[in-house]
Amino acid sequence: MKVNIKKISELSGFSPATVSNALNNKKGVNHETAMQILAIAKEYGYISENKIKCIKLVSYHDSGKIVSDAPFFNNLLESVSNSCRDEGMDMKVVNLYRREADYAQQVELLLQDTSAAILLVGTELSEEDAKAFAETKMPLVLLDCSFDNLPFHSVLMENENSTKQAVNYLIELGHKKIGYLRSEVTSRNFQERFAGYEQAMRQHGLAVEKKYCPGIPVSITGAYETFGKLLEEGRELPTAFLADNDMIALGVMQALQKYQVRIPEDISVVGFDDIEFSRVFAPGLTTIKVHTKELGELAVEKLLGLIKRPQCVHTRTQMYTQLVVRGSTAPLEK
């Protein structure tokens, strides 16, 4: 018997829309209903225990302030989508929201679907919440995140050495008072970037001063408004700033310009990601380029390999970044 969503609807008594939503991990389906539909789909062969039919790009949200409409993640999604299409694989996007009441049930339903492989965007994922995914038998690759104590196949960017390189570059320009614009929302990536900054500063005998490391919202508008208030209060500035990402850097640059602080003559600014806005802003933002397209392609490649060889040894793949110098940095004026 050829089984499709219409047939599962007839067998289960639920509408085709409900069946489709349940099989695609969409919100609004009762957990018990979803499990019934999943069981029927398995029983009648719509979900095969042995054949992967698609890749589910699972975006995990905690605060939702990092993984949102930020250009970096839109570019990553586009890269994964294009790679799946090139490989002849269907792709479905699933959003998991940690703070929703049915989160645990959504994870259970996701991991019951043996017809799909999972590409889990774990930017906001904590080690504790990652445990639910670590023991799955399904092909799963963790993207943009990794955990030292959990056995994941993972693909991510280099963070610590990237910010070390940026600090070294600023020091070569003569800067010694180098601050860091920290996101108010924590993530493993941001923690590693700040750690690289701290290490590089201490290696050069330079102080990491709290007054030069303010907490800033992760959006351009939020960064602009918050840093503007700091400038109104007369906050002392270093001669250079690194930022957790380009969104923060660009918002702060707007605030600096509003208060007639010249970039780069008075202060140099370095971002992280190299989003499109960084190239067209005036002055252009010096930043750490993440090869987003290649990151998505590599993750899909790794997942497809895992589908073919599910018992292969867990590996962590890190992609190097590139410092891109533009007009927002300059030698320190003496």
State whether 169 and 210 are in the same domain. Answer: yes
Q: Within a domain: residue 328?
A: no
pLDDT digits (tens, 9 = 90+) for 265-296: 999 999 999 999 999 999 999 999 999 999 99
> Is 255 part of a structural domain of the chain?
yes
In a domain, 205, yes or no: yes
Same domain assignment for residues 55 and 39: no
Are residues 263 and 308 both part of a single domain? no
Cα–chain center distance at 59: 9
Tally the domains of the chain.
3
Q: Answer yes or no: is 278 within a domain.
A: yes
One domain, residues 153 and 298: yes
CATH number of the CATH domain containing 244 = 3.40.50.2300
Whether residues 148 and 53 share a domain: the answer is yes
Whether residues 33 and 96 share a domain: the answer is no
Q: Is the pLDDT of residue 38 over 90?
A: no
User: Could you write out the DSSP letters of every residue in 212-230?
Assistant: G--EE-SSHHHHHHHHHHH
Q: What is the pTM of this model?
A: 0.82
Residue 234 domain-assigned (yes or no): yes
Tell me, yes or no, whether 53 and 42 share the same domain: no
Q: What is the pLDDT of residues 203-256, one digit of tens each?
A: 999 999 999 999 999 999 999 999 999 999 999 999 999 999 999 999 999 999
81 is a domain residue: yes
Same domain membership, residue 54 and residue 33: no
Listed residue (205, 225, 208, 203) closest to 216, CA to CA: 225
Q: Answer yes or no: do 212 and 123 share one domain.
A: no
- H or E stretch at 97: strand 90-97
Q: Is residue 332 part of a domain?
A: no
**H/E element holding 199?**
helix 188-203
CB 140 within 8 Å of CB 118: yes
Q: Is residue 8 over pLDDT 80?
A: no
Q: Are residues 123 and 216 in the same domain?
A: no
CB 12 within 8 A of CB 21: no
- The reported pLDDT for the residue numbered 48 is 59
Q: Are residues 97 and 174 in the same domain?
A: no
- For strand 240-243 and strand 178-183, is the pairing parallel, antiparallel, or unpaired? parallel
Residues 106-114, mean pLDDT to the nearest whole number: 86
Does one domain contain both 277 and 302?
no
Region 9-29: mean pLDDT is: 74
Q: By residue range, what is the domain housing residue 282? A: 160-290
Q: Residue 39 maps to which CATH number?
A: 1.10.260.40
The reported pLDDT for the residue numbered 10 is 72
